[in-house]
Chain A
């Protein structure tokens, strides 16, 4: 039989957890000398106020003379609290304004309380501090306005700047998207328009060639015309491929990258996750990053294997292209600079790690939003 573990019950000791309140502060309780002195003075003032009240009571409760002493001590406490409050503001204009308002508050309190006491003790009914209070409030407001004037302007400027940055970011993205869509439209127009007409032309020329096979001169001319047309077709094809690789337009990024990798024959392994439709601008940028990276790998790296990873978490498309080659790629080279411009136009980032002898890893992060 298993031995039962000794049962222990923990009783929460409420009184033990709470620190004991001492009426007189203790220096060792983590207070600085200044704080210690202040709390000591506050307590002494309280004791003195009580003492004066006692003397007044014993003296026959005539004219309430201790009130003036209470007012003096109250003003001291008020100055202490106000200075503490002002000092907790951030240094600079805000703290200066807080100090001014503390002073205004203390002076206003002195005026109002003095008036209250003269009214209570001497039955003086006119509200004489009115003009002084108005002057204090005006002076405080004027000072605040002058001191905080810059801050108000800066805050306004910052808001305007942020709005402008937002607008520029949005319109730039729209421009990049529009450009990508336009390139695809041009590619399609070339395909269905000029290219198709040139193909039809070669077809007619081919038929014409057969018709004139008895006239060698005419035949040679037609043959030459057909070759010219074919050259034009292949030039247009190269142009269209530079705008948007056809496989990218037809089948999307992964198919285009697979074809690219197969063309270089580097034994590139490709991993892609999170199926989703990408914006044309994003797809093109990712494609050209991978194409440039694989071209560099094939040309310079002497790599035995290379890899491409595509990760998409709906917010960012991360493109990683790496190899196990000799490394030492120049991140300021013209090819990489062009890629960086393409990626940054989409608010993306491009980084290259290419220590000598450690292979090269190129990482592009493109926001999908």
Chain B
């Protein structure tokens, strides 16, 4: 797997590069801002870009904008956005119409190396990975979400939340202390209840997560800027 990293803090960037190299992931470029990221992606054609949200020069949301622009130019590119805080608004924007190959995680998740590498591979292969904080916020009991997801049982919602975090069936089974067979049954029920079309299973997982994000956080009110 070939990766580009956009992170302005050298300490983190170097740590990340060392971590990836130890795990046989090739880091083809390290950049510090949005325009450099776009150039590196055009030059190196990587499988995945790891992007910090706050980048120079304004240190606000350049990372998100650069990630969206990179995806617009290369739709098959996997993008994993790292941030010190998560905002459901950013998650909705990143995912847009198609959440395949999108990840959005808190930076400290890099400490759990195995889970982080799983997430990297999942995103590079077209999966969707959302941080459990985003998921928790999206899952908070609210009117709109309650109506749209009312068909799901409590256990099915738990499974859906774990799917949104990019977990595999085995990982979900471990986490909920059930058999992988039971998890598969729940997932089939979720697909049926969300009326997702029959297609490749991985893609349906993405669609399920997307349906969930749109229902829970997608309906954004319209407003002008102030």
The residues of A with any CB-CB pair to B shorter than 8 Å are 188, 191-192, 195-200, 202-207, 209-210, 226, 229-230, 233-234, 237, 240-241, 246-247, 249-255, 258-259, 261-276, 278, 310, 312
Contacts and interface: CB of A to CB of B under 8 A. Distances in A.
Nearest to B107: A199
Contacts of A259: 87-89
Contacts of A272: 223-226
B59 A196 contact: no
Interface residues of B, number: 39
7 contacts: A192-B9, A199-B111, A206-B113, A254-B225, A262-B220, A265-B145, A275-B224
Chain A at the B interface: mostly helix, strand, loop or mixed? helix
B226 A252 contact: yes
Contacts of B57: none
Interface string B203-226: 000000000000001011111111
B89 A255 contact: yes
Contact of A188 (B11, B59, B107): B59
Nearest to A197: B11
A312 B224 CA distance: 12
B124 to A, nearest CB: 20
A103 B112 CA distance: 100
B35 interface: no
B226 A275 contact: yes
B12 interface: yes
A265 B137 CA distance: 11
Given A200-B12, A206-B113, A273-B226, A267 B143 contact: yes
A205 B113 CA distance: 9
B221 A258 contact: yes
A261 B116 CA distance: 31
Interface in B68-117: 84-85, 87-89, 107-108, 110-113, 116
A254 B9 contact: no
B198 interface: no
Nearest to B115: A206
Contact of A263 (B88, B107, B110): B88
Contacts of A240: 85
A247 B87 contact: yes
B144 interface: yes
Given A207-B22, A265-B145, A270 B88 contact: no
B16 interface: yes
B136 to A, nearest CB: 11
Contact of B12 (A199, A206, A267): A199
B140 interface: yes
Interface in B19-69: 19, 22, 54, 59-61
B15 interface: yes
Contact of A278 (B107, B111, B226): B226
Given A196-B9, A198-B108, A262-B89, 18 more contacts: A199-B107, A200-B15, A202-B108, A202-B111, A205-B111, A207-B15, A207-B22, A226-B111, A233-B84, A254-B226, A261-B221, A262-B88, A265-B140, A268-B221, A269-B221, A270-B221, A272-B224, A272-B226
A265 B142 contact: yes
The 8 A-B pairs at the shortest CB distance, nearest first, are namely: A265-B142, A202-B111, A250-B60, A206-B111, A206-B113, A203-B15, A270-B223, A272-B226
